[in-house]
Amino acid sequence: MARLDGKVALITGGAKGFGLSTAKLFLQHGAKVVITDVDQAGADQALAELDSDNVIFIKQDVSKEDEWEPVFKKAVEKFGPVNVVVNNAGILEFNDAEHITTEEWHKIQAVDVDGVIYGVKYGIKYLKEKGGSIINLCSIAGLIGISNLYAYNAGKGSVRILTKSAALYCCEQNYPIRINSVHPGYAHTPMVDAYPEMRQDLEALHPMKRLGSAEEIANMVMYLASDESSFSTGSEFVVDGGYTAQ
């Protein structure tokens, strides 16, 4: 029996990177998958790569609350009740505490924080009757400071702690929903590979002396999506090649 048989999963930012790798793994293990993204061209390529009748794409800007309800409704219409929500969509820009602009700040927070807040809010609404798992893709930047990722640090730190608050709320309400965060180190995704000049320095930051793969991060997301993680909620799962052990 596949690990996600009978489950319906919604994955934001599913056109590439962690989202696409997670979609591939979920499909292999029996799930029906809805991927969302702002990148229509990337999504077309992703759907061709996934090549399955059990996946659909819905264009979505996660930072806009009014686009969330239609996504869940379309997912339910196509595949039935949603069991898994992976809040993966995110953006990164370099900035620091002295020179950041208001525009840069709000741009990052809109996607990396507001997009997760809405994903959790509507995830609870649509999962609370039958239960399931909400997984928030965070980062080691939600655990440690990085001087040139000021806004991203703040956003991922927010995701880390709002995950715990939401998980406790669901327990208090007796909703059968688990909510956890995943904290990757630097891994091969379009976001990181866009800076090839930094690769050697980034590899050196990890005791394992390499970057992670998107598939290695997806494996952790798979565990949290499956019933194997039935006693885990409000927790942070680190997949960082030893980075934060130092």
The residues annotated as belonging to the active site are 152
Q: Are 124 and 178 in contact (CB under 8 A)?
A: no
Rounded Cα gap, residues 211 and 230, in angstroms: 29
Q: Is 89 exposed, middle or buried (0-12, 13-18, 19+ CB in 10 A)?
A: buried
Rounded Cα gap, residues 135 and 88, in angstroms: 8
Rounded Cα gap, residues 112 and 139, in angstroms: 11
**CA angle centred on 238, ends 197 and 37, rounded to 5°:** 65
Rounded Cα gap, residues 201 and 85, in angstroms: 33
